[in-house]
Amino acid sequence: MALWKRRRLLETGAKAPEFRLPLPDDGETALGEIAANGPALLVFFKVTCPVCQLTLPFLERISAGGALSIFGISQNDAEQTREFNREFGLTFPTLLDTEESGFPVSDAFGISSVPTMFLVEGDGTISHVVEGWRKTEIEWLGAKAGVRPFRPSDHVPEWKAG
C-alpha cells in the first residue's frame, strides 16, 4: 500500500465500515452478514508477512473452538491466498482485498501494517483492535473464545511489530 494512502487506523468504539469482498474460490460476503451472527474477528494480512505467518496459525486454533468467528482479509490475490491457507492449515473464511482492487477495505479501516485485527460486534462496533503480534492479545482472544491458543511446546515471542 502506498504511503500516501495511509489513513488513521480505526479505533475501539468506531463503527466498522460496511464492505463486500470476494472469497478466493467463489462467492463473496459482506460485513453485515459476518457480524449478524455476533462478534467476529477481522484479520488483515499479507502472505509474505512473517508476523502474519506466526499469528494466523494460532488464530486457526481459536477459530477451531467455534466460539469466535474469524475472517482473514488477504491483501493478496486468490491463488497466493489459497496457497497460504493450505501451507498454514487455515480453514476459517478468507476474503480478498487486493492491490488490483486498490485495497478499498484496508484503506477504509486505516491499515498501515499487517497483521491488524478488529473485533467487530454484532452491531458493527469495533470493540478491540490489535496491531502486530502480542502474545497477551492472542491469549485474550483465546480466552474470549474459551480456547487456549498456546501449547506448552510453543515458543513464541511476547511481542513483534507488524
pTM for this prediction: 0.94
Give the CATH number, domain containing residue 68.
3.40.30.10
Report if residue 51 sits inside a domain.
yes
Question: Whole domain around residue 134: which residue ranges?
Answer: 36-146
Q: 50: Cβ–Cβ under 8 A, 6 or more apart, which residues?
A: none
| pLDDT tens, position by position, 108-159 | 999 999 999 999 999 999 999 999 999 999 999 999 999 999 999 999 999 9
How far is the CA of 68 from the CAs of 49, 159, 162, in angstroms?
A: 24, 23, 23
Total domain count for the chain?
1
Report if residue 90 sits inside a domain.
yes
The CA distance from 33 to 42, in Å, is: 13
The CA distance from 36 to 69, in Å, is: 11
116-147: string of b/e by CB count within 10 Å (b at 16+)? bbbbbeeebebebbbbbbebebbbebbebbeb
Report if residue 156 sits inside a domain.
no
| pLDDT tens, position by position, 34-53 | 999 999 999 999 999 999 99
Assess whether pLDDT exceeds 70 at residue 1.
no
Report if residue 31 sits inside a domain.
no
The CA distance from 36 to 47, in Å, is: 28
